[in-house]
Structures are given as C-alpha cells and as structure tokens.
Amino acid sequence: MTEDGRRFEIPKDMRAMAEAGFDQARQTFEKFLAGAEATAGSLEERGATVRAGAKDIGAKVLSYAEKNVQSSLDYAQSLVHAKDLPEVLKLQSAFIQGQMRSLAEQASEMGQVISRAAFDATKPKV
C-alpha cells in the first residue's frame, strides 16, 4: 500500500511489455540451449573415457543451466503478476530460498560427476 492508503498496482501496459520481454527471453534461451547442446555433442569426438565423462558433465551443466534460467524466468514472470509489495517480497523470499537449495544440490551433484569422470579418465586400462 502507498502512504495514502491506496494499493500499488502494476499498470496493464507495463505488464504486457514485461510479458513480451519474457517471451523473447525464453525464445533466446531456447536458441542458446540448442547451440550449447550442439557444442556438447562435438565433445563426443574425443576418446571413449574422456568422452563419457565430458558428456556426463556437459549434460549436468546444461540441465542446471536450463533449470536455473527457467526458474529465474518463472520468478520474473510471477513478479509481473504480483498485486502489491508484500506479495513481491513473499515471492522474492521463496525464490531465494529455492535457489539456495538448488545451488547446494547442484554443487554436490556436480562434484560427484566430476570426481567420477576424473577417476574414470585416470583409471589404468586393462
């Protein structure tokens, strides 16, 4: 609410402009993801062991990037639909908590994937 007791509302034109911006951001991200997948595919031309490790790492990185960008876009879009400042603050708090949990999970998983790939790459061939 504002100081004079009125509710703060986001104008419809501003919401429409933000929606268009989010749609464009999503399309751009999808193009980036396609390019990243093509680049990750080119890593497959290396040795079998290194290729498998690089493929696992690349797949995880792409998965995390997609999840994180999608989460950020969803958050931004939810802000556009927020009715007032308390709702914006509630959305922000939930987003930050979710991102912190996600970051911790991703760091743990990535450490495991990298360790496994390094172990496999240095394992003597029989």
Over the stretch 23-69, which tens digit does the pLDDT of each residue have? 787 888 777 777 777 766 654 544 566 667 778 888 888 888 889 89
Does residue 5 lie in a domain region? no
Does residue 70 lie in a domain region? yes
In tens, the pLDDT along 5-36 reads 666 677 787 777 777 777 787 888 777 777 77
C-alpha distance across the termini of the chain, in Å: 71
Does residue 28 lie in a domain region? yes
What's the predicted TM-score (pTM) here?
0.56
Domain count, the chain: 1
Q: Do 41 and 62 contact (CB within 8 A), yes or no?
A: no
Does residue 77 lie in a domain region? yes
